[in-house]
Structure 1
């Protein structure tokens, strides 16, 4: 769920522990009612996509001035492993605990433990953020590099800071899997763009640090 990109909802939870291209023309699926469109996008914003199992992702963050950063990720349920561009582990969020490593995951150092109350406050903040979102668009039956996807966009303010945000999601039309997400922070200002591409990663697991 963007655990998220998306920083999608799951990305916002990860931020506590640290933070989809249309080609060709195909017939779009019948448009859904506006209320249904908004509900779909709000679910995406909160990381409630239907996929189960490990997910591998590649995130590229582009900041004003040309700075660029690449991170790889592996998400399994609410747990998330962050790696550098070469695949070396950097940090880990598991069972509400945040760890870092200085030796590519050979050993882990516990940095912080998040209480159930803190995690619930985060969940509620994401829900409020989604509820106040606006300008939803939903396009069905688009094409993303040969995959049939549903494309969603939304505008909102980041909970807690009020920073203007834009979100874009490319969702597999058959499985509901989030193939790609783009989040734009402070569009037109000190803009930061995060592009995340994801794929299922069956059989992969998140490390469990020794207690």
Structure 2
């Protein structure tokens, strides 16, 4: 199989993984803690985004805009998650940075799809890199906040934060070269895309697994 075929096959697995996680969440919904319900909401958002991506790709021949919609949705959700749930108090600098990130992604959408007719060879978005970078900063800030409080008991939150930190950090490593190679004729770019999709499946699988676990007192806090 070619790298492109592998990446497409893995991409087809993501809605299946998301569906399993959502079904598990629905079955255990009454037992889920507040954080787990937010994770379930995240899975639902990603599921809708995935379906919308397939529809737009089928309807218009490409789904480039979905990378921006995905990044915008993901960043908006993560800002809410960290500012409202994960952090002990609001981190104003990170909130401002997050809002600026949302503004940047929105501006990139406008520049690419509203004011200019997109040309495939010129498609080189940085929305996902901006999205990843801001979430990494929030995850690092959360770690610093928790490490400064050595009596921290919310290990469920800490593990979730570590999962986000690892995913978005490694994902950025894949996306940076992909952005520069997206218009290249070589199939090398699909190795990076395959890495991205593989990470996505691992993240969704981990979040789906959390739907199967009865929350501890820490998760209920």
TM-score of the superposition, structure 1-length normalised?
0.22
Higher Rg: 2
Tell me the TM-score normalized by structure 2.
Answer: 0.21
Pick the structure with more helix per residue: 2
More relative contact order, 1 or 2 (CA 8 Å, 6+ apart): 2
Write 1 or 2 for the structure with the bigger share of strand. Answer: 1
